[in-house]
Chain A
Amino acid sequence: MKKSTRLGLILAALLLLPAYFTPIWTIKLTAPQYPQGLGMYIWIDDITGHERHDIQNINILNHYVGMKEIDPELVSTLDIMPWVVGGLMALAVISALAGKLWLAWIWVVLFVAAGAAGMVDFYMWGYDYGHDLNPRAAIKVPDMSYQPPLIGKKTLLNITATSWPYWGTLWIGLSLLAGTAVTARDSFLKKKGTDNR
């Protein structure tokens, strides 16, 4: 493994660090009575309001249609994700130290798999959240579900929901890009035989 590849993998590990300090996703809800909107940030380990009381206020609105409360304590993915990200950081570092390209490729594969699983989990969470409604809800609209969009904009009764990746996802993306690029380059050069290690 080239020295630059090792450094690239270390860089990829470091790029994952900011994901602990900035949300990875943002969902905003606007309604006639909420022109400034209510919103939540999804972190790798938490869900918080755009403003201090937004989660409480979203839950109050949601209970009328029978949606479950958003309680970060009950979302198990939030317990696992910091370890997954930490694991990916560790594996990137180990690959760099060991200097094994096949390890780096495992890292790439695991990263993509974790990302895909994360998105699927997020979608499932949103699906459950929007479809598993209390049958005794005060407001029941036939055939209506309240799944927020995974990405983009969607109108749900009087509420317009928009969902976008946030800074954390950018850092995670850059990490994957950096790690994959140096690994692929190294493999390519090795195949061409221009390796001058």
Chain B
Amino acid sequence: MAQKTTIWKITSLLLGLGLLAMIMYGCPSQTGMLDTGDAAQRVYVAPGEYDEYYAFLSGGYSGQLSVWGLPSARMFRNIPVFSQDPESGYGYSEETKPLLMTSYGFIPWDDSHHPDFSHTDGMPDGRWIFINGNNTPRVARIDLTTFETVEILELPNTGGNHASTFVTENTEYIIGATRFSIPYEKDKDVPIDSYKENFDGSLSFIAVDPESGEMSMDFQIIMPPYHYDLGRAGKGKSADWVFFTTYNTEQAHTLLEIYASEFDKDYVVAVNWKKARDYVREGRARTVPANYYHNLKDKNTSIAVSTVHDEVLLLDPEDAPDMIYFLPTPKSPHGVDIDPTGEYIVAGGKLATVIPVHSFSRMLEAIENEAFEEVINGIPVLEYEATIIGEVENPGLGPLHTEFDGDGNAYTSVYISSEIVKWSLETFEVLDRIDSYYSIGHLMITGGDTPNPDRKYMIGLTKTSRDRFLPTGPKQLHPAQLYDISGDRMELLLDFPTIGEPHYAQAIRADKIRDNVKQIYDLDENQHPHAVKRPRDARVVRDGDIVRVYMTNIRSHFTPDNIEGIRVGDEVHFHLTNIEQDWDMVHGFAIKGAHSGEVLIAPGETKTTVWRPQRPGIYPFYCTAFCSALHQEMQGYVRVSPAGSDVPLTWRTGEE
């Protein structure tokens, strides 16, 4: 009884405090309701209607890229990029496995952070979207007519490709950089505490073919051993430049949370990429050994092919003057974001109490006047006062990333105080602030990183959800919030779960992509060497222990669907061609005991899965995609006989 009394006392006390709080501050949920009372209507897209925007959210440690509609926040697709995907067979099928090859072998996972569209005149053109893999440094290209990963390029001599993928005005370059400085020299074995002598930073410039989109490692720049965190391409007047942030200019190699946070200022790095490119074309770069993979899906055969490269062009700032400058910036800046005019360079002073804003034109003046504090490895350090144009006071704790609405306002995500602050690019004063749920990383405004933003929606990509949704265990989902920014005040519309851990995101008006999306792969253009386009050409061919099954899929049967004469020890390649030419008519294939995922075959496509039967017996296989009314009947059998058996190789579908 005594216990019960105590509970009552505590309850009354809490109720009293709650009431007091409500009297003093008003009911929080009610104010929220008043602010966004019609939020549901504003995000509602009626059944069968289309969203206004495509949004692409990076998957973070899922290694994928998810595709959403805005404003409904409905997810359409999860594109596998750096991760094997048992759902689609990506990274399991023989056609896609080469995409995941690196100089370290087959790596079926990476940490995908920052998607960026291909650009024409500074605006996303809806042709391709690129995304980086941070861990084993890579950059991928996704074709937006098929929403499939078609190319992955490894970055040599790089430790953690985080400041990537950011794309220049006309997709001349995708940038990349070392987040964790390592010895630049390939496979160099040195003591870790020789960091200052032996470690280097590097910046990468990946060229993109304007017609095919094919990427190539054009050149790298060797840098002091700092950590290169994030980047951005300039725009408008600053379009010839790219910018990176640095932290760990302290050059620590252990306990970085303390040792890399000591200096008052680190740097924003400004690189004139046109000048760098000219130096490289003039022959100022030297060719150095490297080892990296370039994996490209062949347009005709749809088979990815890996090419290994063994050298790269390296430019040293000591040999290339007037190309790179350091802009001192407070306290381990994270994001570096350029306003729509290309004038303001906003750094997220992660541990700073202000948001520092540099002026591009003042930077050019400072360079002209040689307002240098010092020169490091041939790179002049500009005077802080010479480039800074404003500091936003009281931005909250831990400002990270900034996007823009095109009307002179900037929006900065603030991690520690878990909010977004809106501030003026004219007065550098905070105009509005709104909560994040919780601990926001990147934010993304529709077109907010382009010269011409759509002042409509903003997404906050947050790191923890804690109590926001029905709980699902100790590891909760990473959520995102959708805000309306068309008015003076930011308004929260929606809080929604995401896939993986989205870091950055991109959005584009739906009409830039929608009408170009392919509905089928044209069977007539399928040049896969193992394709069969007519059931009567289906066959099984033995070559030693390798057996190739040339199989067609169409509603609702496989040809052939009975196969005998397979032996234990064989390596059976099922080459599956979906001979349908109807949109969304996908067939799948799985066979009992296969050490693989299923494969999904889109209409007109050929996919291959390899199976090594280990025991004699009868093995059913079936279509995994519910294709038709007779889907359950879309199956077959393989008879596996013991090794050395003389059962002849036969196949059939139907009795004739």
Contact = CB atoms under 8 A, between A and B. Distances in A.
B66 to A, nearest CB: 26
Interface stretch (A10-18, A52-60, A68-76, A96-104): A52-60
B278 interface: no
Given A53-B520, A60-B555, A138 B580 contact: no
B554 interface: yes
B630 A53 contact: no
A57 B629 contact: no
A9 to B, nearest CB: 46
B629 A53 contact: no
B582 interface: yes
B341 interface: no
A60 B554 CA distance: 8
Given A60-B554, A60-B555, A138 B630 contact: yes
A83 interface: no
Contacts of A57: 581-582
A64 B520 contact: no
Interface string A15-42: 0000000000000000000000000000
Contacts of A52: 581
Interface in A167-186: none
A56 B581 contact: yes
Interface in B516-554: 520, 554
A56 B556 CA distance: 14
A190 B205 CA distance: 91
Nearest to A36: B583
Interface string B545-589: 000000000111000000000000000000000001110000000
A141 to B, nearest CB: 13
Nearest to A63: B555
A60 B557 CA distance: 11
A139 interface: yes
Contacts of A139: 629
B630 A60 contact: no
A93 to B, nearest CB: 42
A60 B629 contact: no
Contacts of A53: 520, 581-582
Contacts of A138: 556, 629-630, 633
Nearest to A139: B629
Contacts of B628: 64
B568 to A, nearest CB: 35
Main secondary structure on B side of the interface with A: loop
Contacts of B581: 52-53, 56-57
Nearest to B633: A138
A58 to B, nearest CB: 10
B522 to A, nearest CB: 9
Contacts of B630: 64, 138
Contacts of A56: 581-582
A47 B541 CA distance: 38
Nearest to B524: A52
Interface in B606-646: 628-630, 633
Contacts of B580: 60
A139 B628 CA distance: 12
A138 B631 CA distance: 12
A139 B629 CA distance: 9
A134 B211 CA distance: 51
A60 B628 CA distance: 10
B564 to A, nearest CB: 24
A70 to B, nearest CB: 15
A53 to B, nearest CB: 4
B557 to A, nearest CB: 10
A52 B582 CA distance: 10
Contacts of B582: 53, 56-57, 60
B653 to A, nearest CB: 14
B554 A64 contact: no
A60 B556 CA distance: 9
A33 B392 CA distance: 56
Interface string A130-148: 0000000011000000000
A33 B554 CA distance: 17
Nearest to B48: A35
A60 B581 CA distance: 11
Contacts of A64: 628-630
A56 B629 CA distance: 17
Contacts of B633: 138
A91 B520 CA distance: 48
Nearest to B522: A52
A53 B581 CA distance: 6
A60 B553 CA distance: 12
A113 B33 CA distance: 76
A57 B582 CA distance: 7
A61 to B, nearest CB: 8
Interface string A75-104: 000000000000000000000000000000
Nearest to A33: B584
A56 B520 CA distance: 14
A52 B583 CA distance: 12
A57 B629 CA distance: 15
Contacts of B520: 53
A22 to B, nearest CB: 25
A138 B520 CA distance: 27
Nearest to B604: A53
A64 B580 CA distance: 15
A139 B630 CA distance: 9
A52 B603 CA distance: 14
A41 to B, nearest CB: 18
Contacts of B555: 60
A84 to B, nearest CB: 33
Nearest to B582: A57
Interface string B502-524: 00000000000000000010000
A138 B555 CA distance: 12
Contacts of B556: 138
A56 to B, nearest CB: 6
A52 B580 CA distance: 12
B502 to A, nearest CB: 33
A73 to B, nearest CB: 15
B635 to A, nearest CB: 14
B634 to A, nearest CB: 11
A82 to B, nearest CB: 27
Contacts of B554: 60
A26 to B, nearest CB: 20
Interface string B98-134: 0000000000000000000000000000000000000
Nearest to A52: B581
20 contacts: A52-B581, A53-B520, A53-B581, A53-B582, A56-B581, A56-B582, A57-B581, A57-B582, A60-B554, A60-B555, A60-B580, A60-B582, A64-B628, A64-B629, A64-B630, A138-B556, A138-B629, A138-B630, A138-B633, A139-B629
Interface of A: 52-53, 56-57, 60, 64, 138-139
Closest 5 CB pairs of A and B: A53-B581, A57-B582, A60-B555, A138-B630, A56-B581
Interface of B: 520, 554-556, 580-582, 628-630, 633
Given A53-B520, A57-B582, A138-B633, 6 more contacts: A56-B581, A60-B555, A64-B628, A138-B556, A138-B629, A138-B630
